[in-house]
Amino acid sequence: MQPVLHRLNTDYAIGSVNCYSLDSADGLILIDCGVPNEETKRYYLESFDLSRLCHILVTHSHNDHYGLAAWLAARSGARVYFPYRDYLKARQRDDYLRLLGDIMQGMGFSNRYYQRLLAIIVDPGNFSSFPEDITVVEQDFPSNIGLDFIACPGHSQSDLVYLTGDFAITGDTLLRGVFQTPVLEVDMINGGRFNNYEAYCQSLAKLAALEGRRILPGHGETLENVRDAQFFYVSKLLQRAERLRPWRKEANISNIISEMFTGGMTETFYVFLKAAELLFTQDFFREPDLLAVSLRQIDLYDEVKELFDRALGRKTAIPTR
């Protein structure tokens, strides 16, 4: 099946989101669906035969990727498929938000800040309600539609990549020239904070194995190759880690943000995203060998070794003649 790109506008800094449709014998399949604004709804009403839409597959439950799923399902009867961890987040929403508050408090954020963040998260104008009926991808994926999937968490706890023929539809796991912020989430299976860094290290080899396929990302242009995207992401991570090194043992993330961005970071949700990135980087400082081993596995370590050493404050050996 040949995926068809639908580039839909959002109000987010990332810009438009890429969604993909496939025409199968059973009907139309949609992978990700955009945000629930009037422009996007009009696009689907004018461009799709919604009576043929049978499956809506979500790569991960961030609003630009799943936001219109409930609206589309109500008008088409299509089944909506979420990754398992996102299904738990949807079904245990109150517990998820309460635990997120506990995590934020442990990071040094005040209850006042968390209440501002919570008001943003629960505002339906910012984040869509989850569909009433959700099918779990890992438990009940339709085997006869010409698609497969692999789990590659790291950006979120749930990232799925969908495969068909020579194509890989990668959501936010592989983007061209974008450092996709790892998002702070509650681990609803094991409790506590989901460790995006550890997950990303484990996903590196699975993503590298997509080399040779045509990569269809969740934002921006089609990737020329996987290696360049991984090199870009890891390089940016290490450059940002070098800057963070003076605070690598500071447990109070709120203090780090105050000291690193004095007078320059006050927007509530942006602070939340930056806090997640700082946690990701601190996890790197605690276990740098996790990343080093994964990079060696995909033969990328030597290309970033100098950045790796600088991030950790190690002297890079000067070659002798």
Q: Which of 118-127, 130-139, 154-163, 259-268 has the lowest mean pLDDT?
A: 259-268
**Residue-level pLDDT at 86:** 97
Question: What is the value of pTM for the model shown?
Answer: 0.94
User: pLDDT digit string (tens) for 243-275?
Assistant: 999 999 999 999 999 888 766 556 899 999 999
Tokens of 257: 């943000």
Q: What is the DSSP string of 75-126?
A: HH--EEEE-HHHHHHHHTHHHHHHHHHHHHHHTT--HHHHHHHHHHHH-TTT
Mean pLDDT of 290-305: 98
Give phi and psi for 307, each to the nearest 5: -65, -40
DSSP-based three-state secondary structure for 136: strand
